[in-house]
Amino acid sequence: MPGWPMLGCGMAPMQGGSLNRRRLLQGGAAIAACGVVWPATGAGRFPSRTVEYELDARPAVIELAGQPVRLLTYDGLFPGPLLRAREGERLRVRLINRLDEPTNLHFHGLHVSPAGNADNVFVEVQPGGSFTYELIVPPGYGGTFWYHPHRHGALARQLWRGLAGPLVIDPLSPPPALAAAEERILVFKDITVADGSPAPHRSADWARGKSGQLVLVNGEVQPRLRPREPLVRLRLINACNARMLLLAREDGKSLQVIAHDGHLLEAPLPLETVLLTPAQRLDLLLALDDAGPVTIVHKPYNRGAQREPSRTEPLFSVQPSTNAATPALPTRLTTLGGIDPGEVAVRRSFRMAMAFLAADGQGQLAPIEAQQGDLELWEITNVDTQDHVFHLHTWPFQVWRRDGVPAADPGWRDTINLVPGERVELLIPFRDFTGRSVFHCHIAEHGDAGMMGIIEVRGPGGQRAAGPSLDYGAALCRSG
Ligand code: C2O
Ligand code: CU
């Protein structure tokens, strides 16, 4: 790996002994030396059963805010139907393409193989064709996720026109603290309608990211939820192309965040406002009382390319049932293993502007080749004048530091926002899964326009995975 400073595994003092590559690769061991609790993923124990879905990608006319709109849908629904399985189960999804262009699926945030017929974004399903995906989420990696098309060069347009849906992987052992909570899944999607269709992209959209005038929640404008239980778990999914949602309660009380990007925090985190960027998920716990409905609003946020909304606007509200007695919030949800930065084997550094750039600013970042078993540190700096949303497929990461300061919330994530000038250091354990995958800006237009990088993780033998060329653009843009 010429050019990258290498930190040997044994360089820094470590908690509890050395974490060598072999131990990481053995799998099945519940606890690695650095204190991370790795779920056991021993082959042979899973899958316990298979859950099957069929998704029909097809145009459909859907009524949005009182007017019929020609969208692209899964099964004629907007958002698409919920896919749900349990950790360790095989999730089989047959995608049927009834569009007039190629498409495919990505299961955003899942820690599953990126190869073969798993979460392989290099697959292309032709019009009239179909493809069957099969995924097994290892125990410990359940949560709130979503699915959307991921054909390079067509992602932004297909997502904009309606193709997105929620995906929930239930844990093998659900936290008892959340047992009493009633669940609601909310998919946010913005749209501008022109002549009965989502307004087509204009050239400025590719630089700014396309925002819509209307923010829909599960396809509705400002819906009111009426849960039966006083304790509600909201699974929020931002499926917008580019719109950032700065969320708050209208009454000014704190939001109680219990998970980001599907991964539980140790305890509910009270926040007055929280930013939900494109592709991120946020689980909130809401304890209703007899003070009436709770309204969740979004506040003006300036992402550099756009400030929106112009003033605080309601998104949805939650109406308590009449005889609600206020439930207490749990104080403990899970235990997070921290990663020891002393274990870092490989350190990489690059920049984001409208592309991924080498650390010295000299040209495009080369495809990344990593070794299974390594803990890597990626230092990423946003050198642009607008926010960019970094997303890595397959391998969740922990944010170690922001601008050199240890991050306050070390939970696992798959998508993170960088404001202009910001520098983050991410710790990424490449423990499971080999193969080729991608990282990109999740402002969907930016990804299509070139903020897309390739990563290949090699197994112990060091061989490259078979598959498309590392030149992602050349491999996938040709069918245009
Ligand atoms: Cu939401 Cu590359 O994905
Ligand atoms: Cu971007």
Q: What confidence tens digit (pLDDT) does each residue in 205-217 have? A: 999 999 999 999 9
Question: Does 28 share its domain with 144?
Answer: yes
Specify the long-range contacts of residues 299-302, CB closer than 8 Å, at least 24 apart: 299/246, 299/247, 299/248, 299/273, 300/246, 301/244, 301/245, 301/246, 301/275
Domain final position from 173, 202, 221: 173
H/E segment holding residue 176: none
- Measured in Å, residue 470 CA sits from the centre of ligand 2 at 21
Ligand nearest to the CA of 385: 2
Q: Is residue 371 part of a domain?
A: yes
Q: Is residue 327 part of a domain?
A: no
For ligand 1, whether the C-beta of 365 sits within 6 Å is: no
The greatest distance separating any two alpha carbons of the chain, rounded to the nearest whole angstrom, comes to: 66
Domain final position from 318, 351, 381: 318
Burial class, 49, CB count within 10 angstroms (exposed 0-12 / middle 13-18 / buried 19+): exposed
Question: Does 202 share its domain with 74?
Answer: no
Average pLDDT over residues 54-67: 97
Question: Does 128 share its domain with 203?
Answer: no
Whether residue 462 is predicted with pLDDT greater than 80 in this model: the reply is: no
If pLDDT is split at 50, 70 and 90, which confidence band does 1 have? very low
If pLDDT is split at 50, 70 and 90, which confidence band does 464 have? low
- Measured in Å, residue 135 CA sits from the centre of ligand 1 at 16
Question: Does 151 share its domain with 108?
Answer: yes
Whether residue 10 is predicted with pLDDT greater than 50 in this model: the reply is: no
Average pLDDT over residues 309-338: 88
**pLDDT above 70 as % of the chain:** 86
Cis omega before residue 79 (within 30°)? yes
Whether residue 463 is predicted with pLDDT greater than 70 in this model: the reply is: no
For ligand 1, whether the C-beta of 393 sits within 6 Å is: yes
Specify the CATH number for the domain of residue 228: 2.60.40.420
For ligand 1, whether the C-beta of 279 sits within 6 Å is: yes
Question: Does 85 share its domain with 185?
Answer: no
If pLDDT is split at 50, 70 and 90, which confidence band does 194 have? very high
- Condensed to tens digits (0 to 9), the pLDDT of residues 265-308 reads 999 999 999 999 999 999 999 999 888 899 999 999 999 999 99
Q: Is residue 156 part of a domain?
A: yes
Q: Is residue 16 part of a domain?
A: no
- Condensed to tens digits (0 to 9), the pLDDT of residues 237-257 reads 999 999 999 999 999 999 999
Average pLDDT over residues 190-199: 98
If pLDDT is split at 50, 70 and 90, which confidence band does 108 have? very high
- Measured in Å, residue 109 CA sits from the centre of ligand 2 at 18
- Ligand 1 atom at minimal distance to the Cα of residue 148: 1
Question: Does 380 share its domain with 249?
Answer: no
- Ligand 1 atom at minimal distance to the Cα of residue 108: 1
Ligand nearest to the CA of 119: 1
Q: Is residue 77 part of a domain?
A: yes
Q: Is residue 8 helix, strand or coil?
A: coil
Residue environment code for 422-432, b if the CB has 16+ CB neighbours within 10 A, otherwise e: bbbbbbbbbbb
- Measured in Å, residue 97 CA sits from the centre of ligand 1 at 19
The domain total for the chain is 3
Question: Does 188 share its domain with 215?
Answer: yes
For ligand 1, whether the C-beta of 106 sits within 6 Å is: yes
Question: Does 220 share its domain with 156?
Answer: no
Average pLDDT over residues 81-104: 97
pLDDT: is 470 or 326 the higher one?
326
Task: Reduce the secondary structure of 40-55 to three states and give it as a string.
Answer: CCCCCCCCCCEEEEEE
> If you average pLDDT over every residue of the chain, what do you get?
86
Ligand nearest to the CA of 151: 1
Q: Is residue 323 part of a domain?
A: no
Residue 460: what pLDDT? 81
If pLDDT is split at 50, 70 and 90, which confidence band does 327 have? confident
Range of the domain at 102: 23-173
Domain final position from 121, 149, 173: 173
Q: Is residue 336 part of a domain?
A: no
Compute φ and ψ for 68, nearest 5 degrees: -75, 135
d(CA 263, CA 242): 23
Angle (CA) 20-25-26 rounded to 5° is 105
